Amino acid sequence: MNTKVPIAWSLACAFVAAAFAQSGPSRPVIYEGARLIIGDTTAPIEAGAFVVENGRITAVGRRAEIAVPAGASHVDLTGKTVMPAMINVHVHIGYEGYTTWRAENHTPANVLDHLQREAFYGVGAVQSVGTSPTDQALQIQSDQRAGKFPPAARFFFMPGMAPPNGGPDAVLRVATTALHVVNEVTTAEEARSAVRRMAEQHIRQVKMWVDDRRGTYPKMTPDVYNAIIDEAHKHRMIVNAHATTLPDQKAVVRAGADVLVHMVQSDKIDDELMAVLREHRPYWATVIGLGDRSGACDDDRFFAESLPASVVSMIRQSVESKPLAPYCGPQTPNRERREEILAYNFPRMISSGARIVLGTDTGIQPGHTFGTGDHHEIARWVQLGLAPADAIIAATSRPAQLLGIDDMGTIAAGKSADFVVLDANPLDDIHNTRKIASVYLHGRLLDRAALLAKWQKTNTE
């Protein structure tokens, strides 16, 4: 699948010098005194310590029990809480330019900017789902792995499959069509050969849209999605299914889809879906926040600080309720109904064994932004009944497992030192994930002030 995007590699080259300056062996560092939230079912460690050498965690435990390596420098984190950097399995990277979503926006520089936004807010890896041009995305991934980018969230992506004219929402459709991004398939054989091409490129995941966008195109047939799932599984690939209705969710999970995206929004789920979930235990990327009132509606620095003032004021003026657009007006009956269904469905999805993972769908709506969307989503889970400790697992170790990222997701020896230092404990109040003191990626302190300065002087005109 070739794209016609000119790739601005001079940009990547400019980063090479910075990357070299950051490499090479470094002194060990011991981070001492913080509460450590491990990211899996292990109990937190109060007054903990951990050692980082060459970007990796080499020891974790109670402060008194950790041997200080010779020549180590000390970082005192007394009173702070440390958690693993989060991992978001569902975003749309590259098209957003604050208020436009265009093919022209999709440059390596803009992809990097979105990855930096996620990193700024404590997210260490993101996966762009179904909308990234494959050749360009593979190039960005390999350049990032080679250290050619400045520090940012690790970039993952998966191709998408849909019937002709199917695929993403209208917001992205024109751009993805211009770049020929979506694999349009009509028959089982076309579906299989598209999946085989992906497997040859060592792509691990694929998305399929099982939806007709309110009757605007014919839905993918069971014949086609069964072929996608079968062929993908033959190649040990993971299948993500966009399915938003109750019958479609039952059908795709029964057919063997590994990840459900979205929740059923128009109906209360029933015993039949719950039985199917119990049997198959799919991962589940909830994507709730996309339909919520934007955090930027209110006078909350957390949401506004990384956005130009003009965008914040545009969001705050949105008082007409429209799909996929910010809305800062009063509660509507539709939104009340949505809340009622969420409150009913969410705990039932969890108790039936859907394995919740962080996914936000950011990148298609100015009020639902890279990085802040992650914090919004996990707070929604807690509001809907999930324990904060489980919310953190679903934002760290479980998505690491889903994406096959062996060296992220927990604060443990052998892992990459990708962590967030918080001023307050999110186990007491999940909103405390927003009280970010600092972010470390691969053992390096992220220069959050420099990133903020860059964004605040962005001109959106």
Q: Answer for the pair 192, 384: CB distance below 8 angstroms, yes or no.
A: no
Nearer to Zn ion, 45 or 86 (CB): 86
Cross-strand bridge partners of residue 87: 125
DSSP assignments along 124-147, one per residue? EEEEEES-S-HHHHHHHHHHHHTT
Q: How many CB atoms within 10 Å of residue 233?
A: 14
- Backbone φ and ψ for 124, nearest 5 degrees, come out as -95, -15
CA-based angle 337:343:349, to the nearest 5?
125
Of the pair 31, 381, the CB lying nearest Zn ion is at 381
Between residues 148 and 376, which has the closer beta carbon with respect to Zn ion?
Answer: 376
- Which CB, 135 or 169, lies closer to Zn ion? 169
CB 21, min distance to Zn ion, A: 36
Is the separation of the CB atoms in 93 and 132 below 8 Å?
A: yes
Helix H or strand E segment including 222: helix 222-234
Closer residue to Zn ion (CB): 95 or 225:
95
Nearest approach, Cβ of residue 342 and Zn ion (Å)? 18
Give the residue among 107, 244, 96, 260 at the shortest CA–CA distance from 172: 96
- What are 259's strand-pairing partners? 240, 283
Residues 306-365 contacting Zn ion, CB under 5 A = 361
Site for Zn ion contains 96 (CB under 5 A) = no
Q: Which is nearer to Zn ion, 95 or 327 (CB)?
A: 95
Provide the minimum distance between the beta carbon of 122 and Zn ion in the complex, in angstroms, as a whole number.
Answer: 21
**Minimum CB–partner distance for residue 359 and Zn ion (Å):** 8
The CB-of-103 to Zn ion minimum distance in angstroms stands at 17
**What is the smallest separation between the CB atom of 409 and Zn ion, expressed in angstroms?**
22
Give residue number: closest CB to Zn ion: 361
Q: Which of 285, 286, 277 is nearest to 353 (CA)?
A: 277
162's enclosing H/E stretch is strand 160-162
**Total of residues contacting Zn ion (CB under 5 A):** 1
The site for Zn ion (CB under 5 A) is made up of 361
